[in-house]
């Protein structure tokens, strides 16, 4: 059954980082379809303009803010521009991120530093910068961090990615506790594999994609779930449900689960 319109999104300005592809792109389209105004952030101006054209062609409205790289200096400059131009922001969806599947002994430290900059530090910087803005208004505001089931259920050949997502989940949980008396909602979205371009870099030989293809989430379904949760009091979104059940069992019986799911964990 199709879920109805989320009227709380109507005319709300919502920032989406990593909006040019995959989950971010679908979330932006879904927000516009609900009458919201997605603020699109990504490194590809060409893809952002293409997305903006698609949204506007469907009678939606959006704003485009390309960024050359997710460095601290570039983000500071961009945030100042957004605040000066938009005046009022209602939500932030930290979606930008990437991963690389490799063993610890193969980790490229420069690549790892970039992964933490994009997956963790950029998201924290955006959240910290907009937090005072969100807290000064009485109306409901929302920060959503797209995390991963990898933050809860670590597997081999993903140490850097798992560590970055574990850090972001920890940050999200702390931010939620620190703002619990306010009108700000803080939500983590913990996803299993999603059928996007993420794996072009993470899984260059395609082995993992081939092994888990039948379990992959569709980005449109993820986007619908996220947008219907905007401006509601939602602590977490966990997809798919069976992977969340597995992560709970892993926290309770880690040694047993590592043995029982060894073949599944080794599919990378």
pLDDT tens digits, one per residue of 176-195? 999 999 999 999 999 999 98
Under a CB-based contact definition with an 8 Å cutoff, are residues 208 and 101 in contact? yes
CA proximity to 232, closest of 156, 141, 134, 171: 141
The two beta strands, 184-191 and 236-239, are parallel
92-116 pLDDT tens trace = 999 999 999 899 999 999 999 999 9
Does the domain made of 7-265 have the CATH classification 3.40.50.720? yes
> Under a CB-based contact definition with an 8 Å cutoff, are residues 78 and 41 in contact?
yes
What does the alpha-carbon distance between residue 209 and residue 235 come to, in Å, rounded to a whole number?
Answer: 29
Exposure class string for 98-111: b at 16+ Cβ within 10 A, else e = bbbbbeeeeeeeee
Over 70: is that where the pLDDT of 130 sits? yes
Q: Is the pTM of this model over 0.85?
A: yes
Intra-chain end-to-end CA distance of the chain, in Å: 35
User: Which residues are catalytically annotated?
Assistant: 161
Per the CB < 8 A criterion, the answer to whether 56 and 62 are in contact is: yes
pLDDT given at position 131? 98
The residue whose two tokens read 């040694």 is 255
Residues in the chain: 268
Element (H, E) at 168: helix 159-178
| Run of H or E including 200 | helix 198-202
């Amino acid at each position: 059954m199709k879920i109805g319109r989320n009227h709380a999104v109507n005319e709300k300005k919502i920032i989406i980082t990593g909006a040019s592809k995959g989950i971010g792109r679908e979330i932006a389209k879904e927000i516009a379809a609900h009458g919201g105004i997605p603020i699109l952030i990504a490194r590809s101006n060409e893809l952002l303009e293409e997305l903006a054209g698609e949204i506007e062609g469907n009678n939606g409205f959006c704003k485009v803010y390309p960024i050359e790289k997710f460095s601290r200096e570039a983000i500071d400059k961009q945030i100042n521009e957004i605040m000066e131009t938009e005046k009022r922001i209602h939500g932030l969806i930290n979606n930008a991120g990437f991963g690389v599947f490799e063993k610890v002994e193969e980790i490229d430290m420069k690549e790892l530093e970039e992964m933490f900059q994009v997956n963790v530090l950029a998201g924290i910087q955006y959240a910290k910068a907009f937090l005072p803005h969100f807290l000064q208004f009485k109306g409901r505001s929302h920060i959503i961090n797209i995390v991963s089931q990898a933050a809860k259920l670590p597997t081999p050949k993903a140490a850097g990615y798992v560590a970055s997502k574990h850090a972001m989940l920890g940050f999200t949980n702390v931010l939620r506790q620190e703002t619990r008396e306010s009108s700000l909602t803080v939500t983590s979205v913990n996803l299993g594999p999603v059928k996007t371009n993420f794996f072009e870099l993470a899984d260059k030989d395609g082995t993992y994609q081939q092994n888990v293809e039948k379990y992959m989430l569709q980005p449109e379904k993820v986007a619908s779930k996220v947008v219907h949760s905007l401006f509601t009091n939602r602590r977490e979104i966990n997809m798919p449900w069976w992977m969340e059940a597995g992560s709970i069992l892993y926290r309770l019986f880690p040694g047993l689960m590592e043995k029982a799911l060894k073949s599944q964990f080794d599919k990378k």
